[in-house]
Amino acid sequence: MSALKVVSSKLAAEIDKELMGPQIGFTLQQLMELAGFSVAQAVCRQFPLKDKTEAEKGKHVFVIAGPGNNGGDGLVCARHLKLFGYNPIVYYPKRSERTEFYKQLVHQLNFFKVPVLSQDEENWLEYLKPEKTLCIVDAIFGFSYKPPMREPFRSIVEELCKLQDRIPIVSVDVPTGWDVDKGPISQPAINPAVLVSLTVPKPCSTYIREKHTAHYVGGRFIPRDFANKYGFEPFGYESTDQILKL
Ligand SMILES: NC(=O)C1=CN([C@@H]2O[C@H](COP(=O)(O)OP(=O)(O)OC[C@H]3O[C@@H](n4cnc5c(N)ncnc54)[C@H](OP(=O)(O)O)[C@@H]3O)[C@@H](O)[C@H]2O)[C@H](O)CC1
Ligand SMILES: [K+]
């Protein structure tokens, strides 16, 4: 049994609900900003630009955003990556109509001159070449995914699976296609090079292959008492870091 602290999908949803409930009063936007910021930091830690040639610095970070909040984390991450000196490009094939907020995140990307591919972009794979792409950020589905995967995401994830041995994939919170509690029990499912668990790792993270996948926790937004109430200790983040490598 792994010593990793994990919380079930049910508990993760309860934690989110309480954080955004009337007593604590975080907004989704606040948590998503910190979540996306953490993922951008994990990309920097894993793929530092320092000592890279100009050609390598120009490589794309290809962010694929899904229709829910996991996708929102990806949109925020892309904006921070641009500020950190990376060259992000966003593919957002099914845009959320849930709230105005998602449109605002896209406007912000336009403001930062981060390309957002059109929804019906057929040539998105052209942007995914090992010589042109530093890594892929998988912000397609997080803890609310329920198989079987529907289109257009099934075809997209199948293509990513073919590429993942050549271009490293950074998965946000849950590798896309994995059951949040039981791991990769259905196909297609991504096998990430990096997993960034948010707030606290979900049980699926115990199914990553330790030698293959670097595991970070991010989303540094809960105090000790609150973590203890949900049965875990806070993570030992250093200084102002938003991520911790586990
Ligand atoms: N406290 C935190 O840790 C925070 C985490 N955040 C991130 O939010 C996600 C969870 O976000 P949520 O919106 O609940 O869900 P997802 O993004 O995982 O997915 C929902 C969308 O996915 C569609 N979906 C689900 N299953 C399928 C399928 N089989 N095929 C196609 N599409 C699917 C679903 O569509 P519906 O039509 O079913 O509604 C939704 O559109 C968490 O993992 C973190 O990444 C937040 O940023 C807040 C802080
Ligand atoms: K994901």
Ligand 1 touching residue 174 (CB < 6 A): yes
At the fourth CATH level, the homologous superfamily of domain 9-245 is: YjeF N-terminal domain (3.40.50.10260)
| Model pLDDT, residue 46 | 97
Distance 87 CA to ligand 1 centre (A): 26
Residues, CB-to-ion distance under 5 Å, ligand 2: 138, 171-172, 176
Q: Ligand 1 in contact with 173 (CB < 6 A)?
A: yes
Residue 223 labeled ligand binder = no
Answer whether 149 contacts ligand 1 (Cβ < 6 A): yes
Domain coordinates of the chain in residue numbers? 9-245
Q: Check residue 3 and give its pLDDT.
A: 53
Complex ipTM value: 0.97
Is the Cβ atom of 16 under 6 angstroms away from ligand 1?
yes
pLDDT at 120: 87
Taking the CA of residue 32 as reference, the ligand 1 atom at the shortest distance is 47
Residue minimizing CA distance to atom 32 of ligand 1: 150
Ligand 1 atom at minimal distance to the Cα of residue 139: 45
Contacts of 89 (CB under 8 A, 6+ apart): 60, 61, 62, 63, 78, 114, 115, 117, 127
Averages of pLDDT over runs of 10 residues in the chain (246 residues) are 71 92 96 98 96 90 96 98 97 86 96 93 93 97 94 96 97 97 95 97 93 95 93 93 97
Ligand number, closest to the Cα atom of 143: 1
Note the pLDDT of residue 4. Answer: 60
Nearest ligand, measured from the Cα of 149: 1
Per-residue pLDDT, 67 = 95
